[in-house]
Amino acid sequence: MFSYSQKFWNLGFTDKLVMMEPNRTKVEILKAVSNFSRYLDIRNDANLHEEFTRWIKRKEIHWNTKRNIENYNSAKRLDINEIVTKLQSLPTTYSNFGFFVLVSGLRTSEAIKAFNNHSELCNEGVMELFWDRGTKKANAVFCHPLLHNKFNCIISEKSIRRHLMSKNLGCELRYLRKINFTMVATKLDPLLAEFMQGRRGNISQRHYFLPLMQNNRRKWIRMWEPILKQFN
């Protein structure tokens, strides 16, 4: 954020910022300029941030790169059988990781950490994470028996980006999390889906949801079994 503030502070209130392609870089620049204006407000007792937010609204600049309806339609078009076929064609290590992301529903960074530390985290088929990163949380996920013995190497984020890019996978890796949520929520339990994806979340709920996971474990294993048997 500090680096972007130094590089792009001069884009505030400019047509160049308005005309930029709506992508992740533009969103990060908007955040940096917005935070820089707040800094100037605090230091100089001014109202620059308020003026900047009004200007953004007037110019119809959006903070998100895509509309929610576009994300929803993209998720609807995903075919899990096509994704499984794509995953099968990847090198073994990255195929294993891709299937782990699919059945766990973890974010990519969380899945890398869980994959690399599987032996320490997996306890009788449940991986207790309870990581908290600002507004993003990870609670606990199941480890499928058909994947349990495939965590036998260390992977990096750089190698994941190279092997699991959208052209190899057929979709962005993050969409596997959407598929996971849809399957668990519709076929098992919506509360379980939210808990496993870190959407329910203070630590006190650990004592409530964690024991209930065992009630759904067999059903969860059976749900993913046909897909993972194709892989195996």
State pLDDT tens for residues 90-115: 898 999 999 999 999 999 999 999 99
* Tens of pLDDT, residues 156-199: 988 998 888 888 888 888 889 988 988 898 888 888 888 888 87
Higher pLDDT, 28 or 231: 28
- From the centroid of its chain, how far is CA 177? 7
For the chain, which domains are there?
A: 2-58 (no CATH), 71-231 (1.10.443.10)
**Could you tell me the two tokens for 179?**
């598929």
pLDDT at 71 over 70: no
pLDDT at 134 over 80: no
* Mean pLDDT lowest among 134-138, 203-207, 213-217: 203-207
Residue 183: partners with Cβ closer than 8 Å, 6 or more residues away: 223
Which one is predicted more confidently, 229 or 141? 141
pTM for this structure? 0.67
Q: 110 Cβ partners below 8 Å, 6+ apart? A: 129, 131, 138, 198
Distance CA(5)–CA(36), nearest Å, equals 6
